[in-house]
Structure 1
Amino acid sequence: MKTIITNTSPVIALSMINKLHLLWELFDKVYVPEAVIKELTSSSHESDFGRSEILNAIEDQKVIVYSVMDKELVHRMYAKLHYEELETIIGGKELNSDFVLIDERATRDVAKNFS
């Protein structure tokens, strides 16, 4: 069973090209951390890319919202990265996810240290 956890920017980018569905078509389980959901849905603009798509995917049970267990580690590392990035990396480790979908080099560099 192939699993993936994703950060915010990939959700937005896939939404912009109407390809968010590729995540649940390519993977058996798709996780999105709570901080990513919060970032995607915090805007008051319902037309923001990724917002309605991710909410629909959660409702349709195509995406699972993940609550990171080690919140203390997320908090301690906050100065290095944002909560969304940290929850994606730490969540990927906690879930033993096959893939962690992140777009920024600095975030990928930190993620490599968790391998």
Structure 2
Amino acid sequence: MKVLKFHGSALSDLRAFPHAARREAGYQLDKVQSGLMPSDWKPMPTIGIGVQEIRIRDEAGAFRVVYVAKFANAVHVLHCFQKKTQKTSSADLELAKKRYADLAKELGR
């Protein structure tokens, strides 16, 4: 099983999710750690190669967990946020891109 590594404020952002969304995010991340695919996800190639987004919907709204699992040692959680509109905000995309670029530098890729 791969370890989870949170980048920037991703862990505190995830902890700010409502209880049900937080539990669902944890369950889905556990699946990813075990090498399985989350129940509801989509690729995010605009952020980086191998980046995916877990999509969570509950009565409190829509929540997203952006991660990359292509590296052998860990699942890297880049960004967690509540989605307020149909389209993902450019600020959320840019933050995830920056964290992905920082991760790539850190890993020497």
TM over 0.5: no
Q: TM-score, normalised by structure 1?
A: 0.31
Greater share of residues in strand: 2
Greater share of residues in helix: 1
Q: TM-score, normalised by structure 2?
A: 0.32
Higher relative contact order structure (alpha carbons within 8 Å, sequence separation ≥ 6): 1
